[in-house]
Amino acid sequence: MPSVQPALDHPAARAATAPAAQTVPAAQTVPAARTGLAARTGLAARATTPVRAVPAKFRDRQVLPPWAGPAAASAGHDALLPVVGADLDVPLVGGGRVRHVNLDYAASAPSLVAVADQVARLLPYSASVHRGAGFGSQVCTAVYETARDEVGRFLSVRTDDTVVFTRNTTDAVNLLAHCVAHAVGRAARVVVLDLEHHANLLPWSAVRREVVESRTTPEETLDALATALRAEPTALLAVTGASNVTGERLPLARLAAVAHDAGARLFVDAAQLAPHARIDLAGLGIDYLALSGHKLYAPFGAGALVGRRDWLDAAPPYLAGGGAVREVTPASVTWADAPARHEAGTPNLPGVTALATACRTLAQLPAEALAAHDLALRHHLVDGLGALPGVRVLACWPAAGTDGTRVPVGVVTFTLSGHHPDAVAVYLAAEHGISLRAGRFCAHPLLRRLGAPAGALRASVGVGSTTADVDRLVEALDEYLTGGPRWRYTCGPGGWAPAPDDRALPEWAASTPAARVPVTSPCGT
């Protein structure tokens, strides 16, 4: 198959009158395709042809490393926890519908059913938090403060730590940068690695940021950080817990020791780590940590900054307003202590409730279940991709050791030689109902370092994922590489899109036709 060009027009897509082979790799057939465009493009056959069997080259791929243990061997086949939208069906170009396969957990995970249920219980009591004598207000205030305690327990915080609710991880990092600038000073030195998400790179411009280039092995990277920290006084070492690009984890306990030995504190961006692993903040020696609800099986709009109180109390409010004060006069103000100091205004109670419920639900899983499920699915995915020609899985460092150290989380990023990642992602969604991410994942320096400056494809799994989902992706990619897409795709100002796109958005979703909604980002973020 030729390389994808700005107007992807494979011979298979031009064969408008040729009967199409069945390509919907789902656990069911889909309704009959529409007439007209579908018939003209040869896609009508896909709606009634039975599902094809899994090709032999993709069977029996569940071979796990010996250190994985018996729990991992049986994990991954079924969802670990029920999620909202698990039975959602989505339209395909040319007609028909298919069960949606969500392999984009690293961007925003679906909400747990338990989360949706708890939010539904809360909504009838909607009232002001911290500001009412009515029964609804009492309920909402109790729920809000209980949520703070539950997030703290989930992360095993120290007794004197505090939990500040934010909008998301980006908001939390900016809050901490604001506090460092005021508590330590704008000349405070903050050391970061070049493999970070932009949310853990850009906010530190409020102080004196130094970016350390990661080395070819974790040990060399650790040595480089230690050298940088010893070079001059440093306030903070800011690192990711798990890469949002490769899924690789950093040795947090060792990083905490290196930072503390140099007189610095450790901040961890746990947006990708928290959904996949239990974090013992106190035991690991982490001083500050940020996470997002929308990656942790809760809806959008809530996150948290968790950690030591002193810097938070030493800075003025990140957002000034009601709730952040003790006393106000025309000439002065006395601010409240954290967390209230940095939570001005009416809080996002449904979002905070959802975040806390997700934390509580994940904490109730057996200790090894989450890791085993994650490991099984990731291994299945990497093995399946390895059977395809031209696929390169990206990694910062050599594979994890045989003792299970540095086991990555369920995030796998890869390239297809000669094919534009955005075009492939749009094909997967349009012709197979599969969602994953294409682009540079808000980590441009890391993508350049990994040899993919134009972007890549990222598949990510979670508690609602199954091996059947992974198989759907691998089979769809195999079809793309061997036969090409059946539809034509073009790249315009809004990014790559089917040409034409006859899928309709739900009536309640938007008045804008689907064809006018950008499918991929033109800048590949």
| 136-148 residue pLDDT tens | 999 999 999 999 9
- Asked, colleague to colleague, whether 7-103+367-395+407-491 and 113-363 share their fold, the answer is no
Average pLDDT of the segment spanning 329-350 = 95
Residue 222 pLDDT > 60 = yes
pLDDT for res 393:
97
- Asked if 307 and 153 count as a contact pair (C-beta separation under 8 A), the reply is no
| 441-484 residue pLDDT tens | 999 999 999 999 999 999 999 999 999 999 999 999 999 999 99
Structure letter (DSSP) for residue 242: B
The neighbour count for residue 346, using CB atoms within 10 Å, is 13
pLDDT for res 15:
33
Q: Give dist(CA 281, CA 249) in Å, integer.
A: 15
| 60-91 residue pLDDT tens | 444 444 434 445 555 658 999 999 999 999 99
Ramachandran region, residue 44 (left: φ > 0; alpha: ψ -120 to 50; beta: rest): alpha
Angle, vertex CA 162, rays to CA 232 and CA 168, nearest 5: 85
With residues binned 3-state (H G I as helix, E B as strand, rest as coil), the percentages for the chain, rounded to 5, are 35, 15, 50
Residue 403 pLDDT > 80 = no
Which fold would CATH assign to domain 7-103+367-395+407-491? Aspartate Aminotransferase, domain 1 (3.90.1150)
Q: Give dist(CA 372, CA 85) in Å, integer.
A: 23
Structure letter (DSSP) for residue 460: E
Active site residues: 442
Q: Give dist(CA 413, CA 393) in Å, integer.
A: 6
pLDDT for res 56:
52
Report CA 81 to chain centroid distance, whole Å.
Answer: 17
- End-to-end CA, the chain: 27
Amino acid making up residue 470: V
Confidence of residue 507 (pLDDT cuts 50, 70, 90): confident
Listed by start position, the domains of the chain span 7-103+367-395+407-491, 113-363
Top-level class of domain 113-363: alpha beta
Structure letter (DSSP) for residue 208: E
Q: Give dist(CA 218, CA 226) in Å, integer.
A: 12
Give the largest CA-CA distance in the chain: 79
Using the Cα atoms of residue 1, residue 452, residue 403 and residue 73 in order, give the sign of their dihedral. negative
